[in-house]
Structure formats: structure tokens, C-alpha cells
């Protein structure tokens, strides 16, 4: 939770199938949901949201780890690697931060 926004996830896993995750961002004051992309394959963790309602999360599928963001208008894949540290995800001052191969990475949002 940040400012008025709350982010949460819904995961669906069927036996023998890959899991899918949908990210939701809602304004806790008005109850309005932000537009969201459809489900993506993988399991989401380290979900973060900022005061502007931008959500960032780690998506893990097999050995690949992705840094993803959901903004007001789009869903973004910021990085994909086997060397992303899922515990390193942070949001602040219009940036998303994470560590990949022991090196700091960031992207403007």
C-alpha cells in the first residue's frame, strides 16, 4: 500500500498447467480499479505499489525471473534473467530498482 493505492495478485494454477498471475491496483479511497493487463504466465512475488498506482513485481517462471511493472496505460517487462534477486525489488521517486548479477539496475516509470 502506498498513498491511496493498494496492489494485490490473483494466481490460478491448474494441475499439469503453468500458473498465471493477474495484478490488481485499486484506489482504497474511491474503490476504483486501475486498468490491468490480462494474466501473465508465472508466479508473482515481491509485489510493490507507489503513490501513483504503479505496481512492480517479480515474476518467476521455471528458472527465469522477470521484473514487471503495471502502469496506468501498459504492462512492461523491465528485465528477464536467471540472476535477478527477487528480494531486491523497490520503488521510489518514479523509479523501479532491483539487483541483477550483483549489480544495481533501475528503470524510470
Report the predicted TM-score, pTM, of the whole model to 2 decimal places: 0.86
Which pLDDT tens digit goes with each residue over 72-101? 878 899 999 999 999 999 999 889 999 999
pLDDT at 71: 86
pLDDT at 31: 93
**Cα 64 from chain centroid (whole Å):** 15
Q: Which residues pair with 96 in a beta bridge?
A: 91, 107
pLDDT at 89: 97
pLDDT exceeds 70 at position 1:
no
pLDDT at 57: 94
pLDDT at 45: 87
Which pLDDT tens digit goes with each residue over 26-56? 999 999 998 777 778 888 889 999 999 999 9
Q: Torsion-angle region of residue 108: left (phi > 0), alpha (psi -120 to 50) or beta?
A: beta
pLDDT at 37: 73
pLDDT at 2: 65
Amino acid at each position: 500500500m502506498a498513498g491511496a493505492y493498494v496492489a494485490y495478485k490473483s494466481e490460478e494454477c491448474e494441475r499439469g498447467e503453468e500458473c498465471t498471475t493477474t495484478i490488481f491496483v485499486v484506489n482504497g479511497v474511491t474503490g476504483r480499479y486501475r486498468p490491468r493487463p490480462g494474466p501473465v504466465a508465472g508466479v508473482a512475488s515481491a509485489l510493490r505499489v507507489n503513490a501513483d498506482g504503479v505496481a512492480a513485481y517479480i515474476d518467476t517462471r521455471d528458472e527465469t525471473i522477470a521484473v514487471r511493472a503495471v502502469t496506468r496505460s501498459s504492462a512492461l517487462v523491465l528485465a528477464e534473467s536467471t540472476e535477478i534477486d527477487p528480494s531486491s525489488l523497490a520503488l521510489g521517486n518514479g523509479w523501479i530498482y532491483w539487483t541483477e548479477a550483483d549489480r544495481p539496475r533501475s528503470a524510470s516509470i
